[in-house]
Amino acid sequence: MKRWSVDSANQWYAAQPWLVGCNFIPSTAINQLEMWQAETYDPTTIDKELAWAEKIGFNTLRVFLHDLVWSHDSKRFCTRMDDFLAIANRHGMKVMFALFDDCHRPDPVFGVQPLPVPGVHNSGWKHSPGQKIVLQFHDGSVQPKEKTRLRDYVHGVLTRFAEDERILAWDVYNEPGQSGNDDKTNELLTATWQWAREVRVIQPLTACLDGSCGKRNIALNAAQSDVITFHCYDGQSLENTITQVKTRYSGRLVICTEYMAREHGTTFQHSLPIFKKHRIGCYNWGLVAGKTQTHWNWKSVENMERLKAQGAVLKPSDSIPEPPLWFHDIFRKDGIPFDQAEVDFIRAIMRQRGSL
């Protein structure tokens, strides 16, 4: 399957509303594994939290999958994906699924996941498939069974949902090259694009440019993506980033799949008018402050090893600590917003003519 033409991508986008939503994980999950494993999949919380997103006007979600859940029981994993899509659809939201990821903790393990370290941003988020396998692809030592397993994951998920109109798009690899991998991810990224292109799907494929690391990774994503996607957390550079991306990839469709870090200036009040002016779809990071604790900033990760050495963990009965200024996320677990004025602004801009 070849990359979509510019006309095909723009025709697809013309049929969409202005896409505004969030990167979503329920507050009861610390990472992608806990979200999707049978024992911890939580449709009740998902339904409740997506109702809050619907009320402020969100119409799309970006959601991370994990290869280990597929490999453990592919049939039931897809059943849970189908259930999630049904919940999202009831709330008027289409879903962009992300297959692989190079961010945060490099050592995913199936089963019981770690408890959160209090006050630490994404203390339990896991790579998919994991740094060890990424480096094995790079140096040529990857075992054939591992290569087959990952190919089957990409083929299997895309084939199962190839014609599902509840799915907006597929993000084949989030931020390849992060965690110091740089272009060492390129061998797996290249294979992932090949596997994805072997399946004929009705949805566009993408992987981000700004947000990825490594010149070869970025060039490959630009060449392969049906839709150009990027990440931007800096308020001062947002407009300039959009201009640069649109100029460099003239005529191609552009969507922002990650933004919104309050202390860096990408607030909703600053960012959404810019995205709306350019009619660029956008996904902020986070919805409800929960076990991922992404309402704490990236610098909080520097405290993780010290806190872990002290045995500090958040037990299920503990309240989640809050910083004075939230980094990401919008709501507390009881549905109360961090900033009511912010929620009112989102709702208002989504109700303007042409937004919904």
CB 53 within 8 A of CB 287: yes
Q: What is the pLDDT of residue 30?
A: 98
Please report how many Cα atoms fall inside a 13 Å half-sphere around the Cα of residue 87, on the Cβ side: 21
Domain ranges of the chain: 6-351
The pLDDT averaged over each successive group of 10 residues in the chain (356 residues) is 95 97 98 98 98 98 98 98 98 98 97 98 98 98 98 98 98 97 98 98 98 98 98 97 95 97 98 97 98 98 95 93 98 98 98 63
What's the pLDDT score for residue 1? 86
What 3-state class would DSSP assign to 228?
A: strand
The length of the chain is: 356
What pLDDT does residue 199 have? 98
Q: Identify the helix (H) or strand (E) that includes residue 61.
A: strand 60-64
> For the domain 6-351, what is the CATH code?
3.20.20.80
Cβ(181)–Cβ(137) below 8 Å = no
Which pLDDT score is estimated for 353?
56
Would you say 110 and 69 are in contact if contact means Cβ atoms under 8 Å apart? Answer: yes
| Of residues 188, 74, 183, 182, the one with CA closest to residue 128 | 188
Q: What is the CA radius of gyration of the chain?
A: 19
Q: Which two tokens stand for residue 263?
A: 């202390």
